[in-house]
Amino acid sequence: MKDIIDGFLKFQREAYPKRAKLFKNLATHQNPRALFISCSDSRLVPELVTQREPGDLFVIRNAGNIVPSYGPEPGGVTASVEYAVAALRVSDIVICGHSDCGAMTAIATCQCLDHMPAVDHWLRYADSARLVNEARVHVNEHERIASMVRENVIAQLANIQTHPSVRLAMSEGRLTLHGWVYDIESGTIDAYDGGAMKFVPLVENPTVRAAPIRLP
């Protein structure tokens, strides 16, 4: 805890003065242009990976970067998605998985989660990705887990499109979806190309999208 407090003191002493004007502007309003949905894993820091400043991203983080399909009992993720799209009117949504994801590893390797019933229940929102991944042949366990990470991103992209606010914004041509997988060791990102239905290096395909700008 001491390291965390020391970090805050350093922030007050060094980082805050350099951004005093920015924080003053942000004190009464926010205008993020993107909603970034990622895993809670400590090794993935959205603002660091994207080099964004405070106020640039509206962030949702949870185990497995999961977005439950819209339902009669909306939870925190649903409410945050709705607020980002309907109130803040973000123009882009990124769903970002990552390598060595504990949640996806548990699913891909059929780990028993009886001792963590809440986690077990939460990961059921990745069932469609699990079924697709299990139907494929993998050369080894590493590839099985990596494939599960990718399939989960695709599944959550489908889930988020069941949300009314997202569907409306896409039909109006004001919202674009992106699916990313971040590799911790190399610092690279593969992005889902919805047209080609495959992941491609983002550095070589910076304009790739997971879903069309305008729905039919």
Domains detected in the chain? 31-201 (3.40.1050.10)
Residue with tokens 């080099």: 51
Neighbours of 25 (CB within 10 A): 13
pLDDT (0 to 100) of residue 75:
87
CA dist 168 and 131 (Å) reads 29
Rg over alpha carbons for the chain, rounded to the nearest Å, is 18
Q: How far are the Cα atoms of 123, 190, 199, 212 from residue 209, in angstroms, in the given order?
A: 26, 11, 10, 7
Task: Fill in the DSSP letter of residue 69.
Answer: P
pLDDT (0 to 100) of residue 212:
63
Whether residue 95 contacts residue 179, with contact meaning beta carbons closer than 8 Å, is answered with yes
pTM above 0.85, yes or no: yes
CA dist 149 and 96 (Å) reads 10
CA dist 160 and 153 (Å) reads 11
Residue 194 backbone phi and psi in degrees, to 5: -65, -30
Regions in the chain scoring below 70 on pLDDT? 212-216
pLDDT (0 to 100) of residue 95:
98
pLDDT (0 to 100) of residue 71:
87
pLDDT (0 to 100) of residue 213:
54
pLDDT (0 to 100) of residue 211:
81
